[in-house]
Amino acid sequence: MKAIIKGKIGKNCQIGEGAIIDENVVIGDNCIIEPYAVITGNTTIGDNNHIFSHAVVGSIPQDLKYNGEKTKLIIGNNNKIREFTLINPGTEGGGGVTKIGDNNLLMGYVHVAHDVIIGNNCILANAATLAGHVELEDNVVIGGMTPIHQFVKIGEYAMIAGASAVSQDIPPYCLAEGNRAKLRGLNLTGLRRKLPNRSDIDEIKRAYKELFESGKPLREVAEKLLKSENKYVRHLAEFVLNSKRGIPYDRKM
């Protein structure tokens, strides 16, 4: 079965048999589209992406409020999108765009719903599910079989254990696990791999203890940490202060 190609394809792309690329799709250079993948909708894909068999990229949102409005899906460069992954574009009520950055790995059966924003260098293991309006900062790892509730935000370098259920915001640099997921400490292994300066990690440790283990009011501590000279501590404090769904930690009296 020949591929059906109606969209705009860049240089040096490989398109497998039975793949479908619809007319409003734009694909950059050096991409591999495996057999029977479907790329549809108002979808723009950058360079050096590899989309595996039976992935469906750009089909209409699974949202009853969606009424056929023209919205977008934008995918950056150097991403791997594995078999049977489903990625939907945005909705009018959510800003109209689903956006995925660069160098991400979406394993098999991952679902990325409408109006999701994914940064760079993220890993979503098999069957991880992002509901509408979820936001992932850079370098986030989501374990397999883990659903993320609508409007949840997950900070950079955070790691979520497999088979968890995340219904509240997970701050940067943290580990979370459980149903419902709670903070279990810092993602020290990830931080040691990514941050060259050990003093930055030590500052993050001190900030975590002050925020989540001291028993002091969370907002009061975060406002104090906002004045830190360390950029990672300031980002952690800003995340906590701006959280809309709350932070899932064990509050000490």
Write out the chain's pLDDT in tens, 253 residues. 899 999 999 999 999 999 999 999 999 999 999 999 999 999 999 999 999 999 999 999 999 999 999 999 999 999 999 999 999 999 999 999 999 999 999 999 999 999 999 999 999 999 999 999 999 999 999 999 999 999 999 999 999 999 999 999 999 999 999 999 999 999 999 999 999 999 999 999 999 999 999 999 999 999 999 999 999 999 999 999 999 999 999 987 5
Q: Tokens for 200, please give them.
A: 């930055």
Q: Parse the chain into domains and list their residue ranges.
A: 4-136, 190-242
Q: Say if strands 111-112 and 129-130 run parallel, antiparallel, or are unpaired.
A: parallel
Whole-angstrom distance, CA of residue 210 vs CA of residue 105: 34
Looking at the annotation, which residues are catalytic?
Answer: 114-115, 132
Entry pTM: 0.98
pLDDT at res. 252: 72
pLDDT at res. 98: 98
Find out if CATH 1.10.1200 is the number for domain 190-242: no
pLDDT at res. 251: 84
What SS3 string covers 1-34? CCCEECCEECCCCEECCCCEECCCCEECCCCEEC
Whole-angstrom distance, CA of residue 173 vs CA of residue 157: 5
Per DSSP, the three-state class of 209 is helix
Whole-angstrom distance, CA of residue 115 vs CA of residue 113: 7
Per DSSP, the three-state class of 129 is strand
Q: Which residues of 204-242 are buried (b: 16+ CB within 10 A; e: fewer)?
A: beebbebbbeeeeebeebbeebeebebebbebbbbbbee
pLDDT at res. 253: 52
Whole-angstrom distance, CA of residue 214 vs CA of residue 176: 19
Q: Tell me how many degrees the CA angle 127-129-132 measures, rounded to the nearest 5.
A: 160
Domain with residues 4-136, CATH architecture: 3 Solenoid (2.160)
Among left, alpha and beta (phi > 0; psi -120 to 50; other), residue 78 is left
List CB contacts of 5: < 8 A, sequence separation 6 or more.
15, 19, 21
Whole-angstrom distance, CA of residue 165 vs CA of residue 4: 39
